[in-house]
Amino acid sequence: MRAKKRLGQHFLVDENVLGVIGRLADLHEEDVVLEIGPGLGILTRYLGERVRVVHAIELDRSLEQPLARALDGLDNVEITFGDALALDLGALDPPPGKLVSNLPYNVATPLVVESIEHAPSLGRWCVMVQREVADRFFAEPRTKAYGAVSVLVQLAARRTGFHAVARTVFRPPPNVDSALVAFRRTPLPPRFERVRTVVEAAFAHRRKTLPNSLQLAGVATREEAVAALARIGRDPAIRAEALTPPEFLALAEAL
């Protein structure tokens, strides 16, 4: 099979990394696992042999036969062909408790954020992503990697594992480094959808002050943003990258 660049495909072909995934995902035989982007099915089969149910969602219909061959003899893997970003992940039955995937790199960030917000049954994640994306998930404020996804992930989860991955485990090898990152859900803040709107607006114009960015994104007037920042003890000249995740929670409430 030839990987499709437009779909961000880099097929996992080295089985040696599967043991690392299993350890970081803390797999158990009663688990129900969601996999997005099963590709050629190497990880899918590994999961299917170790857990109760696997929900595998694949966008590329041309992979139907390779997946069928890879999963021959397994009756606990449910393959759904479609766009995971357009599917109701919360409607999967039985509901998955873990997301374990080599995520398509071009949509990895929105897939993680959407799964946090719209798949409440998920309690753990173990995902293979571009190294730069893995670093963003748990980046510190005032660093280059820190952004909206850092805030949203850290408000909803804590990291439990990290493992750098060589480019040679994929075909074709990507032009970037990769990493496995594992994290566990923490209680979701109230009105998370509203918090997400504020966070994404705050970073939409990263080089501008926070009041100006919120106004340009249409979330609040500059005056409202200045007043809200004052209520949480922050200067109106501050930029989004300086606020911690708990401060964004307080800012959303103040607004």
pLDDT at 22 > cutoff 60: yes
* Section 201-206 average pLDDT: 95
Confidence of residue 105 (pLDDT cuts 50, 70, 90): confident
pLDDT at 200 > cutoff 60: yes
pLDDT at 201: 98
pLDDT at 235 > cutoff 70: yes
Q: What is the mean pLDDT of the chain?
A: 92
Confidence of residue 172 (pLDDT cuts 50, 70, 90): low
Confidence of residue 234 (pLDDT cuts 50, 70, 90): very high
pLDDT at 113: 96
* Section 242-250 average pLDDT: 98
* Section 174-196 average pLDDT: 92
Which residue type does 89 have? Answer: L
Angle at 46 between CA 135 and CA 18, to 5 degrees: 40
Which residue type does 247 have? Answer: E
pLDDT at 11: 66
* Section 107-130 average pLDDT: 96
Query: Do residues 53 and 121 lie in contact, with contact meaning Cβ atoms separated by under 8 Å?
Result: no
Structure tokens at 53: 């149910």
* Sign of the alpha-carbon dihedral angle for 49, 55, 57, 62: positive
Phi, psi for residue 98 in degrees, rounded to 5: -140, 145
pLDDT at 120: 95
pLDDT at 57 > cutoff 70: yes
User: What domains are there in the chain, each with its CATH number?
Assistant: 5-185 (3.40.50.150), 192-254 (1.10.8.100)
Question: CA 92 from chain center: how many Å?
Answer: 18
Cα 104 to Cα 59, 165, 215, distances in angstroms? 10, 15, 33
Strands 170-171 and 77-81 come out as: unpaired
Q: Which of 33-42, 121-130, 168-177, 208-217 has the lowest mean pLDDT?
A: 168-177
Closest CA to 102 of 30, 29, 31, 34: 34
